[in-house]
Amino acid sequence: MTVQKTSRELYEDYKAKMQKIADVRNAMAILSWDQETYLPEKGAGFRGQQLTTLSTIAHELFTEDALGTLLKELSSRSDLSATEQKNIALSLEDYEKQRKYPASFVAELSSATNAAYHAWIRARKENNFAVFEPLLSKMVALKRRETDILGYEAHPYDALLNEYEKGADVSMLDTIFRDVKESLLPLLQKIALQDAPDKQFLNRHYPKDAQWEFGLNLLKAMGYDFKAGRQDVSEHPFTTSFNPQDVRVTTRIDEQDLGNMTWSCIHEGGHALYEQGLPTEEYGLPCGEAASLGIHESQSRLWENNVGRSLIFWQHHYGKLQGIFRSSLQAVPLNDFYQAINLVQPSLIRTEADELTYHFHVMIRYEIEKGLIEGSLQTKDLRDTWNQYYLDYLQVEVPDDMKGVLQDIHWSHGSFGYFPTYSLGSFYAAQLFTTAKKQIPGLENAIASGAYGSLLQWLRENIHRYGRFYTSNELCEKVTSEKLNFRYFLEYAREKFGGIYQL
């Protein structure tokens, strides 16, 4: 006689299976982190094989019939907690999606990703898009196949976008970027008529080791737990998490550009604080994962821009910075520094762009990705298309591939649908920070004194602890009492830059 298991016993079986899959995926993540930080050049080939093997194992574990049967049985049980029910519902949704992927496609995509990444590295070294283009063409073909595997209603790009931002689609993004063009362009035009702040002192010599130590101190001040993480150097700054107690960040240091390291540390620190704030008891389960990339980006942008580029933030930190870099900053007043770090000026590099022109960088990538996936744009034409977009939208001429089409790592990873979340994150950040200032007594005074504990605790309570329990817009509405509204970012931008440029 077979004794039927209780819901509690079944849930523990489910939890064990999901954590086993998470272990395999996090082993992959460690190998990927090492690939972008310490991997010797000759190790690339076998590393690709290792990642392909592990990705295949993870896929097989997550798509086995036994897991599907378990999830369906648990989804019929009514005696689970709300969080447990949400975990089951999301896992079943993920399971049914993953079942659509043939194992052969998963292996092929993993192998292509490894080859594309190393081709991108070589192409950057040679400053030649042609080195990367054949691998990118193969990647785009695979991503087009993926849209057919996943299925979509209106536009193939929607299928990829939903992997990063559930519920978002081309129609939503077209509306948002229309707002960007219609609302931000007039502000940019007004700013262009004003005298630009002098930022030359930011490009004096700033020794690498001193920058590194200052960056570490900023991360500590924000609340980043170095007992649960570390910082390293990489070609492209990123954050990776293996669990909330092992969350790592990287930065990029340029001795002739103080801002490069400073804001990559704050930005990645925001991402890391989110990961360190996810519930450890939900490891391997949906409610132990970030809500979306848009919400993830809201955390990094809130810290980087709403906090880290504010005057009150530097009222506390600027004296320390002057003490470290006396020859470069001792004679520079705080207000001049504040205006310089908020200079609005069309530029070539997305990661170094100001808060306003940044969204045109994102829009360019969105338009390109949409074209590649729908087939109206081919990779062989990508360099020329990229350069023309920069001329049309930002009025800048692209001098070479390093400063143009090769600047981002995302396409070498196959991360199509990722870029729009950067702008969404900034818009969520403005709305969340406006609410935080209303709900946290004396928040601005606390920031001015270098105390960020109340803000971090507010984010822990309102954002981090929920994991994927809510979608982005559900979470935004829960916290701010309304869904994403571009008006908050526009008001923030008008107030801040209107003051700096005396508009």
d(CA 324, CA 40): 34
Q: What is the pLDDT of residue 36?
A: 87
State both tokens at 443: 């928040």
Angle, to 10 degrees, between the axis of helix 82-98 and the axis of helix 65-75?
Answer: 140
Task: Find residue 254's DSSP bridge partners.
Answer: 257
Residue type, 184: L
C-alpha distances (whole Å) from 498 to each of 187, 274, 502 are 9, 31, 5
d(CA 127, CA 57): 36
Q: What is the pLDDT of residue 503?
A: 86
d(CA 55, CA 103): 9
Give burial (CB, 10 Å; 0-12/13-18/19+) of 367. Answer: middle
Return the exposure string of 296-312: e unless at least 16 CB atoms fall within 10 Å of the residue's CB, then b: bbbbbbbbbbbbbbbbb
Report the catalytic residues.
268
243-292 pLDDT tens trace: 999 999 999 999 999 998 999 999 999 999 999 999 999 999 999 999 99
Q: What is the pLDDT of residue 1?
A: 52
Q: Are strands 246-251 and 229-233 parallel, antiparallel or unpaired?
A: parallel
The alpha helices in 63-128, defined as continuous H runs, are 65-75, 82-98, 103-126
Q: What is the pLDDT of residue 369?
A: 97
State both tokens at 278: 């996810």
- DSSP code, position 10: H
Q: What is the pLDDT of residue 2?
A: 62
Low-confidence ranges of the chain (pLDDT < 50): none
pTM of structure: 0.89
* Full DSSP string of 121-163: HHHHHHT-HHHHHHHHHHHHHHHHHHHHHH--SS-HHHHHHTT
Task: Find residue 239's DSSP bridge partners.
Answer: 249
d(CA 403, CA 399): 7
Q: What is the pLDDT of residue 340?
A: 96
Q: What is the pLDDT of residue 106?
A: 86
d(CA 247, CA 290): 13
* Full DSSP string of 377-407: S-GGGHHHHHHHHHHHHH-----SSTTTTTS
> What mean pLDDT value characterizes the chain?
95
d(CA 137, CA 411): 10
d(CA 446, CA 453): 9
d(CA 333, CA 50): 53
180-199 pLDDT tens trace: 999 998 999 899 999 999 99
d(CA 306, CA 320): 21
106-141 pLDDT tens trace: 889 989 998 999 999 999 999 999 999 999 999 999
Cβ neighbours of residue 195 closer than 8 Å, sequence gap 6 or more: none
Task: Find residue 231's DSSP bridge partners.
Answer: 249
d(CA 107, CA 185): 44
* Full DSSP string of 192-244: HTSPPPP-GGGGS---HHHHHHHHHHHHHHHT--GGGEEEEE-SS--EEEEET
Q: What is the pLDDT of residue 48?
A: 85
Angle, to 10 degrees, between the axis of helix 44-62 and the axis of helix 7-35?
Answer: 170
